[in-house]
Amino acid sequence: MNVKRYFAPTAREALRALKEALGPDAIVLSNRAVEGGVEILALPGEAVGALQAANRAAVVARTGGDARPAPAPVPEVPAAATRTADEADFRVSLSALAASAARNASRSAPQPVAEPAPVVRAFNPPRIETADYALRNRDGVLRAAVAAQASAPRPPASGPAVFSGRAAARPEADEFGSARVRELQETNARLMSELTGIRGMIERQLAGFAWGETRRQAPARAAMLGELLEAGFSAAIARKLVEAVLEDADRIEAREAVGAALDRLMRACASDEDLLDRGGVYALVGPTGVGKTTTTAKLAARCVVRHGAGRLALITTDGYRIGAQEQLRIYGRILGVPVFSVRDAADLRQTLAGLRNKHMVLIDTMGMSQRDRMVAEQAAMLSGAGDVRRLLLLNATARGDTLDDVVRAYAGDDLAGCIFTKVDEAASLAPALDVAVRHELDIRYLTNGQRVPEDLHLPNRAYLLHRALREHGSASPWHLQGDEAGMLLAAGGA
């Protein structure tokens, strides 16, 4: 066998020399990098026929002379195709030799037993969850883990020892997983606490910068914002009101602009014709001690003066407070108006059906905390009794966040408006006005005393604005000094 060796600095030059010497059908046996270049060992193309003849002779001698069909000739590769690139010659020659060797081996060697095809499993990468995601979804994750453990097949009691070993090892694995989850939760809690602190610090600094810029560019606007905050307005309404103040406005112009903006936002009813003249069924609702029974008597007296005692009826649902029903009955005897006591929704429906010829029916309800679950039951009883509209009583002496809770608890489509009570006891009407503006409530009446019916008044816009925007004196502990308004806004934003 005539094996040729070719050496050149690069593989391309060695292949070119091989092709020029042995032709495009040469067979490359090996190539390797040696010192100074690349060495290639090759055979001429006609050596393939000699190899095939030798292989056939060996097969005949080994099988006892059995005749075998001649193998198909190796197809020749056109010269035009082989001369396109040196690497193509290398690939074609190796392919032809590999195909010939494979056919010869298949005839001589016994057929191997076919192995089963490997099972191809889909690659499912593990899901990476952040600690925050794990905390938010820990309940669902734990429920899924418990369900998967409950649905897992249990090994038989008499099975091999390997099952009992796995069963014994499972609690340790579960304990390790639980410890890992607790560790992640603690780490996440610490991280979130640090991030919250950093965020609050940044927000306070930015708010301080914004407040300083506001005081520099629009001093009257900044001063008015501080006055609104110390009066009791929420930060949201205060910022909305001072938007009406121009940057170059003075103190008087700023107060006038804020007053005009608040007047536009208020929904104060200038007359009670819509309520008393239209008539209907109205239930006075609200927390304990807000003055529902006394306000009911005041409205009843107004209705009697305008329409007569025969056109009005009073209903009480307060069966818990001692003397509540008797108090309303005393007012009814004074006014000459019948008073009915009801216990539940069915009794209320039956009573209202008998009073459908009355012009107005006023219902005095039981007082309860806005966080009491019975508030929803009371609303369901009133709405299920027919066309009953509710009047919400708001204590003017309460804080703004407390009044917010009350409005959220008693909110509904059947809310006909609100009544401010104990106005004479409140230092400022800003919290009550703020809540009425934000929740878009109609202000129906103001009450400022216990006298019936004198201490019930229609809302006067000028009076409400004066009581809401009244300044605190410089000696008042509630007066904001310097940058305290900016610090208060920053703390609220954070």
Both tokens of 368, joined, read 């309860």
**In which region does residue 308 sit, left (phi positive, over 0), alpha (psi from -120 to 50) or beta (all else)?**
left
Q: Of 77-86, 313-322, 325-334, 356-365, which gets the smallest average pLDDT? A: 77-86
Mean pLDDT computed over 465-481: 70
295, 456 contact by CB (below 8 A): yes
Residues 6+ away with beta carbon under 8 Å from 30 = 40, 41
430, 438 contact by CB (below 8 A): no
Q: Of 29-33, 76-80, 144-148, 355-359, which gets the smallest average pLDDT? A: 76-80
25 domain-assigned: yes
> 91 and 32 in one domain?
yes
> 356 and 399 in one domain?
yes
Strand partners, 447: 456
120 vs 363, residue with greater confidence: 363
> 311 and 248 in one domain?
no
Mean pLDDT computed over 448-462: 88
Both tokens of 269, joined, read 């009813």
Residues 6+ away with beta carbon under 8 Å from 494 = 199, 200, 203, 204, 207
Both tokens of 13, joined, read 């030059």
190 domain-assigned: yes
Q: Which residue has the tokens 């950093």?
A: 198
> 287 and 244 in one domain?
no
203 domain-assigned: yes
> 404 and 281 in one domain?
yes
Domain with 41, as residue range(s), is 4-107
416 CB-side CA count, 13 A: 19
> 492 and 450 in one domain?
no
> 358 and 246 in one domain?
no
> 86 and 231 in one domain?
no
Order of strands across the sheet that contains 37-43: 4-8, 37-43, 27-34
Domain end, chosen from 86, 107, 128, is at 107
Q: How confident is the model at residue 13 (pLDDT cuts 50, 70, 90)?
A: confident
235 domain-assigned: yes
143 domain-assigned: no
> 89 and 43 in one domain?
yes
151 domain-assigned: no
How far apart (Å, rounded) are the C-alpha atoms in residues 173 and 162? Answer: 16
> 369 and 325 in one domain?
yes
Residue 386 has pLDDT above 90, yes or no: no
348 domain-assigned: yes
Domain end, chosen from 107, 129, 151, is at 107
Give the total number of structural domains in the chain. 3
> 313 and 253 in one domain?
no
In three-state secondary structure terms, 300 is helix
DSSP per-residue codes, 427-476: S-SHHHHHHHHHTT--EEEEE-SS-TTTTEEPPPHHHHHHHHSPPPPTTS
Mean pLDDT computed over 392-410: 91
pLDDT value at position 80?
A: 42
407, 441 contact by CB (below 8 A): yes
If one counts every other C-beta atom within 10 angstroms of the C-beta of residue 357, the result is 8
How far apart (Å, rounded) are the C-alpha atoms in residues 321 and 327? Answer: 11
Domain end, chosen from 92, 107, 122, is at 107
pLDDT in tens, 91-140: 444 444 445 555 554 554 445 445 555 444 444 444 444 444 444 555 55
If one counts every other C-beta atom within 10 angstroms of the C-beta of residue 456, the result is 22
Query: For position 420, which CATH number holds?
Result: 3.40.50.300
The beta-carbon contacts of 95-101 under 8 Å, at least 24 apart in sequence, are 96/27, 96/48, 97/27, 97/48, 99/74, 100/48, 100/51, 100/52, 100/71, 100/74
Averaged confidence pLDDT in the chain: 75
Residue 183 has pLDDT above 80, yes or no: yes
Across the chain, which distance is largest between two alpha carbons, in Å? 137
465 domain-assigned: no
Angle at 354 between CA 352 and CA 360, to 5 degrees: 55
Mean pLDDT computed over 164-182: 63
> 83 and 29 in one domain?
yes
